Amino acid sequence: MTSGIGRRRAAARDEGGAAYRERRAEIVTAAAAMFKSNGYRGTKLSDVAEAMNMDRASLYYYIGSKEELFHEVVGGAVGTNADTAEQILAGPGRAPEKLRRLVTELMVSYAEAYPFLYVYIQENLGHDSRDRSPWAREMRRHNKRYENAVVAIVQAGIDEGTLRTETQAWVVAYGIIGMVAWSNRWFNPTECTVPAAEIGSAYAETLLGGLEQRA
């Protein structure tokens, strides 16, 4: 029976129409909210099915396991942020301008992908060295790409004389990443009265107030 459902699910993902994709997206969104409030380990597929007014057998037509659902929730958003950071690094402008854009766009991405990226931060699976799955390795690779891009921007600013610091570039970079990531503790785009772009801009100005080398 399970293998039959699996075959149907695989066929629907390959050939299913807009209605199938829309329903699957709704399931992913419902699961993300539960992962955020209850944690990955505290969420069961039966909870997701109940939230969607489905039985588990119907849910399996759209998703094969809780692990697959979690991967669907966070994977794309993490990769997209790494791509954005690398594009900013390679793009025009000096380091302060790039950091402003990086911090603002990261905060905006948290809002646009809410709560997917926050689920990932809370679970912190990207730093779980015990998970050797291909997905976990890919997430660690995306994390490292992002970190490397931020470190490179800070180092470029030090080298060109637009940023000042008494420590190494990676220390500053990790502080920048951590400051924005902490917003997972309080930010909800549907409840917060301050837009994500404004928050990101304020963070960037606060950071650069201490980092930017003034003429």
Per-residue pLDDT tens over the stretch 38-92? 888 889 999 999 999 999 888 888 888 888 888 888 888 899 999 999 999 999 9
Q: Is 185 exposed, middle or buried (0-12, 13-18, 19+ CB in 10 A)?
A: exposed
Q: How far apart are the first and last CA of the chain?
A: 71
- Does the pLDDT value for residue 176 go beyond 60? yes
Q: Output DSSP code: residue 213.
A: P
Cα Rg of the chain (Å, integer) = 20
pLDDT value of position 61: 85
Pairwise pLDDT comparison (122 vs 146), residue with the higher score: 146
Question: Which range has highest mean pLDDT (17-31, 59-73, 81-95, 106-120)?
Answer: 81-95
Tens digit of pLDDT for each residue in 74-83? 888 899 999 9
pLDDT value of position 13: 66
Tens digit of pLDDT for each residue in 128-163? 556 678 888 898 899 999 999 999 999 999 999 999
**Both tokens of residue 94?**
């000096």
Mean pLDDT of 107-134: 79
What's the CA gap between 98 and 207, in Å, rounded? 12
What's the CA gap between 152 and 146, in Å, rounded? 10
- Does the pLDDT value for residue 127 go beyond 90? no
**Both tokens of residue 184?**
């997972």
What's the CA gap between 201 and 104, in Å, rounded? 5
pLDDT value of position 53: 93
3-state secondary structure of 31: helix
What's the CA gap between 24 and 62, in Å, rounded? 6
Note every long-range contact of 121-128, with CB atoms under 8 Å and residues 24 or more positions apart, other chains counting: 121/181, 121/184, 122/36, 122/39, 122/184, 123/35, 123/39, 123/40, 123/70, 125/40, 126/78
H-assigned helices in 16-133: 18-38, 45-51, 56-59, 66-90, 95-112, 116-123
5: number of Cβ within 10 Å: 15
- Does the pLDDT value for residue 7 go beyond 60? yes
Tens digit of pLDDT for each residue in 163-175? 999 999 999 999 9
- Does residue 95 contact residue 157 with C-beta atoms inside 8 Å? yes
Which residue in this structure is represented by tokens 């994709």? Answer: 21
Chain-wide mean pLDDT for the chain?
A: 88
